[in-house]
Structure formats: structure tokens, C-alpha cells
Chains A and B, each alone.
Chain A
Amino acid sequence: MDLSPSDYIKEYLLAIQDYAVLSGQSIANLFRRPRYLGEMLMQADIMGVGSLPVVIMTGFSIGASLALQSSNTLQRFGSLSLTGQLVSLSMVRELGPLLTGMMVAGRNSSGMASELGSMKVTEQIDAMRALGTDPTKKLVTPRVISSIIMLFILTIIGDLVGLCGGWTIARLVLGLDSNQYWSTAWQSLQFADVFMGLFKPLLFGFIVSSIGCYYGMFAKGGTQGVGRATTQAVVVADVLIVVVDFFVSKFLMSVMHVH
């Protein structure tokens, strides 16, 4: 079906409205009964424990790469001892939250979109409504809340593993002293750096789950539609995470006077 520009804009605005309503409901449901605590714990397990291997591998590799790539430049200025500081600031402030968010989005936004999308096209969501259950309470809110909490925890783990990756290279390849690496890594971190690094995962966790749930809940067009929803969920969640990361970093840096 060919859409006119005005139809296209209308459809786009309606989609934003639907997303905003679903996101608002997912948070508002926290204050309404029933609350599905069991569902939340199950989702936390699927999302958190399930994403652990990918977060550990990515975090370690990025930390190691950072140390390796920066060593050349730092050596030129005779500042190789600052490797720990560089890895820790980069990981905690920026790369840890960003890459953990993107990895979790790749795994979980797609999973949520395909699971809820399949339920939608096979009328299971309608069946749930017909049985007197609010699908946003039962399916969306537990995913959103557990995603926010688990991404926060996964980011801390990703940061720590990244620092370990940097230390492995600093110790084995660059021949730096372990004490020196860890003390510069630790001492360089200010409250603002840690706050920035731990605030962003809360937003990214919300983006990962709300986007995944939105594309699932509004999927149409059979199995092909579910496939399309899955792909769109990952792409949109990843792009949103990068864009939000930039603006939040800029905002927090100016508010907290971080340079």
C-alpha cells in the first residue's frame, strides 16, 4: 500500500503516541495491583543471568583493547603509567554503560519483540485480555523493571571486567606494575564519573525493554511481521541508546562540571 506523506507522518506520530502510552503504563502499573513479582524475578534471571557471558566477554575485550590501543600514544608522551586511569575513566563513564546497553539490547530487545510479537499474532495477547488480565501489567511492566535493575548491575560487572581486561594487557604486554595500574585506575575516578556511569544504565535499561515490548505488542502481519518487529526493535534500541548517551553525557557534564 502506497502512503502519502501526510499519512506517513500521521502513522509515525501515532506510533510515537502508542510508544509513549505503553511506556507510561509500564511505570504507572508499579503503583497498581496486581504486581507480578514472580514474572519480574523470572525476567531478571532471563535478562540478567542470560546476558552475563556476553557482557563479560565484551567488557574484557574492550578493556584490553583500550589498554593496547592507548599504550602507543601514552608511551610517546612518556605516560604509560596512566594506562589504568585511561581505561577506568573510559570504561566507567562511557564505554561500560554504552556497550553493555547495546549488547543487552541486541540480545533482549529482539527476544522481547519476538516473544510478545508471536503472542500478538497468535491472539494470545487478546486471549489474555479476554481472560481479564492486563497484558501491560503481566508482560510489559515486569520486563521494564527487571531490565532497568539488571542493566544497572550488568554495567557494574562490565566495568569491573573491562578494568580487569586492561590490567591483563598492562601487566602481561606493557609490563606495568599491578599496584600502579589499580591505584591510578581507582584514584582517577570522581563521584561525577561514577554517577554518570551508573545513571545512564537506568535509562538504557528502560529503552531496551520498552522498545522491545512496543515492537512486540504492536506486531502485525504474521510470522513475517514478527521478524520485522524483531529487527526494528534491535536497530531502534541501539540507535536510541547511542543518541541518548550523547545527550545525557553532555547534560551531566555541564551540570556536574565534569571535563
Chain B
Amino acid sequence: MSLLTTPSPMQDPGETVHKTIIFDHVSIAFDENVVLNDVSFELNRGETKMLLGVLGSGKSTILKMVIGLVRPDRGDVYLLGHHVNSMKEEELFDLRRQVGMVFQESALFDSLTVRENVAYRLIEEGVEQEEIERRVREALRFVELERTIDQFPSELSGGMRRRVAIARAIISHPEVLLYDSPTAGLDPVTSTTIIELLVKQRDVYHTSALMVTHRLPDTFTMASHYFDEKENKMKPIPPGSPIQAPSSFLVLRDGKIIFDGSVHELVNSSDEYIREYIS
């Protein structure tokens, strides 16, 4: 088990380029409340890492730190080889364009239509109108919501809003995706639809991703399934198959990482807290 990978305090600049995300001894507290305490982990290219932990364990804070929405009190955060916490806000805007983020409550712009929400990044970049229309439809087709293109977010269900948020995040084909509880509060069928989209994104586009979630079944589905492009659907990996689902797990407790490893290592963990958590 690659438990608690602790990179050296001063990362080799060359090393940071080969990893999508590196957290190096990161700590943060809000007022007196320590949220993250000396957290270190790495995300490999093309891998999806699932962050598990009870409410308030700092999972969403980690996602916001990756793109500099929140700055650590101590430690270093690297994203695609860039040292995030030493960058100015102005410089971060360019880096953030290489990342897609799906917020817990979708965070769609409620005064814009689905088309305008999904196209937001392309409009900002000054992409041609025809190209925008083509890519918006492509992204909405990916999440199977093309029919909602002229609707407002308030007219959609929770699951549909989450899928529009995924379309908005993937439209510019980012190198990294950050999902904050993408299936929270959804029924099992909608939840499976969304997990299928995430598996498709991972296996078809090989996008690196960090996913915060409370739903263990979803994480196990992600770790045990692959996306079959020919049949355009998610399938379980047959036993003994060479097919890989590049996924790993990270468990947080009281602001510290208590587990960082594969699904097999997680289910075979002897740690009492983890056994109770996954039972």
C-alpha cells in the first residue's frame, strides 16, 4: 500500500511537470479550526483520485486549493507544473482555463441559459459563434441534454443541472477535472448516469481528475468499470482482464490523510476507521 506518500518539502521542478497535481505538506486553518494538517499527495496524469472523508474533513477545500481559490497557510500546491500558491490571481486565470470544475451545487449562472452557461468559457475566449454552437451541442450531447439548450437552470432537475455543469467543465477539453460531490443528493439511477459520464471522460479523453464524494458505491463503480466506446456504455472490468481503470482513493480524517492507495488496498485495509467507513 502506497500509504501517505510524502514528497520532499522542496519539490524537484522537473518532477512537478510529470504529475498533474502535487500537494506538498499543505496545511490550512479557518479561524481556530484546522481543516488540513500537513497533507501530501500526488495525482498522476490520466488518473482519477477519489477523496473520501466525513463532512468537514477538508475535501472541498483541497479542490479549491488546486486552482488557487483558497490559498494554504503552509506547504506547496503544484498544478500542471505550476506552483499555484506563489502565483498572482491574474496569472491564475490563465492556468484555470486548463481545468474544469464541477461544484457541489452545480453553481450554474442562473441568469444565463444552458447554452450560455456551457459556452461561457468559449465566449470569454472570443471563439467564433459557429464554433461555439458546434461545441456546445457536442458537450450537451455528451451529457445527453441537447434538448435543454434554451432552458434556464431553474427549469432543470438537480441531476440535469449537475450534467450541465459537467458539460460546462469539459467543453474546453481541460487537462484536469475537479468534481465536488457530483452525485450528492441524486437518486441512484441519475447518480449512475453521472458516474458513467465521469468514466467516459476518464477512459475516452484520459483526463486527470480529483473527485470528492460521500457515496462509496459510486467510487467502487468508477474503480471497477471501464467505458466501452464501441457500445457507448460503461461496463464492468471482467476478472483477469488487462483493462485498467486508472483510479485511486484518498481518505481524510481530522485534516490528515489516513489512506492513499488503490481500491484493492482500500478494501483490504486493516485500519479500523477505514474498515468502519467502507462497511
Name A's B-contacting residues (CB within 8 A).
Answer: 34, 118-119, 122-124, 126-134
Contact = CB atoms under 8 A, between A and B. Distances in A.
A126 B89 CA distance: 13
Q: Which of A128, A130, A133 has the most CB of B within 10 A?
A: A130
Given A134-B89, A134-B93, A126 B124 contact: no
Given A132-B94, A133-B93, A127 B124 contact: no
B99 A127 contact: no
Contacts, number: 52
Q: Which of A118, A126, A131 has the most CB of B within 10 A?
A: A131
A235 B166 CA distance: 40
10 contacts: A122-B105, A122-B110, A124-B108, A127-B101, A127-B109, A130-B96, A131-B124, A132-B121, A133-B93, A133-B120
B109 A124 contact: yes
Contact of A127 (B93, B97, B107): B107
A124 B110 contact: yes
Nearest to A115: B111
B194 interface: no
Given A131-B121, A132-B121, A126 B107 contact: yes
Contact of B97 (A124, A132, A134): A132
Contacts of A118: 110
A134 B92 CA distance: 10
A122 B105 CA distance: 7
B66 to A, nearest CB: 10
Given A118-B110, A130-B96, A133-B124, 14 more contacts: A122-B110, A123-B104, A124-B107, A126-B103, A127-B107, A127-B109, A128-B109, A130-B69, A131-B124, A131-B168, A132-B93, A133-B93, A134-B90, A134-B93
Interface string B1-13: 0000000000000
A127 B93 CA distance: 12
A129 B178 CA distance: 14
Contact of B96 (A123, A124, A131): A131
A46 to B, nearest CB: 12
B256 interface: no
Contacts of A34: 124
B67 interface: yes
Contacts of B99: 130
Contacts of A133: 93, 120, 124
A6 to B, nearest CB: 15
Nearest to B31: A1
Contacts of A129: 67, 69, 93, 96
A128 B108 CA distance: 9
A121 to B, nearest CB: 10
